[in-house]
Amino acid sequence: MWDSTRRATPARAGPASNTSTIELKPGTELVLKVEDLAFGGRGVARHEGLVLFIEGALPGESARVRVRRIRSGFAEAELLQIVNRSPDRAVPPCDHYGECGGCDLQHLSPEGQGRAKREQVRSILTRIAGIGSPPVAETVISADAWAYRFRIDFEWSRAGRGLRLGLHRRGKADEIVPIDRCHLISERANRFARHLAAAASRRGLTAWDHRKRSGFLRRASIQDARGSGEMLLTLETGRGEPQALRQLADDLRGEFPRLAGVVRREIDRGGRQVEVSIVSGRDHLFEIVDGDRFMIPAGAFFQPNVHLSGTLRSMALSALDPDPGEALLELFCGVGFLTRSLAPRVREMTAVEGSREAVTAARANLAGASLGRVRFLSGDVAMLLPDLLKQSTWDAIVLDPPRTGLPRGVPERIAAAGIGRLVYVSCDPATLARDLKIVMAGDAYRLIAVAPIDLFPQTHHVECVASLVRTS
């Protein structure tokens, strides 16, 4: 495992040696020039035409590496020593970096991350969608690249006689790394997590062991609303109803008065959710973004970056540029985050979402704010879309699907519908490119702009707002 603080130290040796005659095999050491950063955060170098992926190496650096694996068409290497250091290299502040799987770019400056993500988006659109010279703008980055997460999902693990909260180990998802402090969440959320683990330990609660298939506590999801100051805890547990769980909730709400509630999701031994209940308080919290108040249920999605969520919404609105006389279709509307800004600017709007609890929240979030112009539908997008396209002539469509992208068949139906404008908000450039390739087939649509926004600093993930217009 790459350790940025111990193994990737600047070299005192001279310039890189010529490695052109070295035969590659596992264990081979050589000095290479890093040319690029792959999607996923690994440096890219080449040796006699063979691509090598190097964990922890940055573009522009010369690095001494050791080959770990040789696969068909590429090799993987570990970083031993930095010979020439990139000016974009940063010192990771996190003690768990390189071990925890949550972050993979803490060793790259925020500005460097923005540049790398822009190039990755361009490369993916060209490679997957076949778009030559895609119009990708510079990445929008936040003035604060830390403590940005609205929500974090911790896993429970045993620690001696007590419990710890942690995250999946990098490269080994079945192992949990205990986390003392996560730099992606607020200091309040970190204090809450430490108190939660200690309080659960004192009450004798046990952590789920997936190997032994025993234990009670599986996951702890903390939602931290900075605009309203509220927090919400969702505990994923096994079956049964120990009194200690209610006592734990009372303890937490006494220690953290802004904790709006504790929700429980019961999971059976087969991993199926069997019941959702409120242990204490309520099952939702409120957040305020640019003056708009949103009710967010425990199980509903909300934009992950508290510093840039308002910026993302403004970018999507600007990309669509709606007209007051238009009819708008929105797919995957969630709790109405985009809907709230779009509805007052159009004649009519239909918003579709698969989660029933999210749609209920969306209706509440638009109450008194052009709700009469919006029809909300709860159900499978792929099943509802054919009738929606027949029922009305839409001037524009907004898409904000999950990381998996649009369901099978949806891009084809959108392409055939002849809608004038399309805005696609994506959190995965690869699925965005896959879907755009279908939508743009036969030159039906033209991609006019892609705006990356770094909603996920310190990780390789990036959000994009893509704008398309109908060409025929």
Tens-digit pLDDT profile for residues 368-377:
766 778 999 9
Checking phi first, is residue 117 left (phi over 0); if not, alpha (psi -120 to 50) or beta?
A: alpha
**Residues whose CB falls within 8 Å of the CB of residue 235, separated by 6 or more in sequence, listed in order:** 217, 219, 220, 221, 245, 262, 263, 264, 265, 279
Ordered per-residue pLDDT tens for the chain, 472 residues = 455 433 444 444 333 344 455 678 899 999 999 999 998 889 999 998 899 999 999 999 999 999 999 998 899 999 999 999 999 999 999 999 999 999 999 999 999 999 999 999 999 999 999 999 999 999 999 999 999 999 999 999 998 888 999 999 998 988 999 999 999 999 999 999 999 999 999 999 999 988 787 889 999 999 999 999 999 999 999 998 789 999 999 999 999 999 999 999 999 888 899 999 999 999 999 999 999 999 999 999 999 999 999 999 999 999 999 999 999 999 999 999 999 999 999 999 999 999 999 999 999 999 876 677 899 999 999 999 999 999 889 999 999 999 999 999 999 999 999 999 999 999 999 999 999 999 999 999 999 999 999 999 999 999 999 999 999 7
Q: So what's the pLDDT on residue 22?
A: 66
Tens-digit pLDDT profile for residues 374-411:
999 999 999 999 999 998 899 999 999 999 999 999 99
Q: So what's the pLDDT on residue 270?
A: 82
Q: So what's the pLDDT on residue 51?
A: 95
Do β-strands 421-426 and 463-470 pair in parallel, antiparallel, or remain unpaired? antiparallel
> What CA–CA distance (Å, rounded) separates 19 from 216?
55
Closest to 150 measured CA to CA, from 338, 339, 286: 286
Domains present along the chain, CATH in parentheses: 9-84 (2.40.50.140), 115-142+299-470 (3.40.50.150), 151-289 (2.40.50.1070)
| Diameter over CA atoms, the chain | 72
Q: So what's the pLDDT on residue 369?
A: 66
3-state DSSP: the chain helix, strand, coil percent, rounded to 5?
Answer: 25, 35, 40
> What CA–CA distance (Å, rounded) separates 243 from 304?
33
Alpha carbon 263 to chain centroid, angstroms: 23
User: Model pTM?
Assistant: 0.93
Checking phi first, is residue 374 left (phi over 0); if not, alpha (psi -120 to 50) or beta?
A: beta
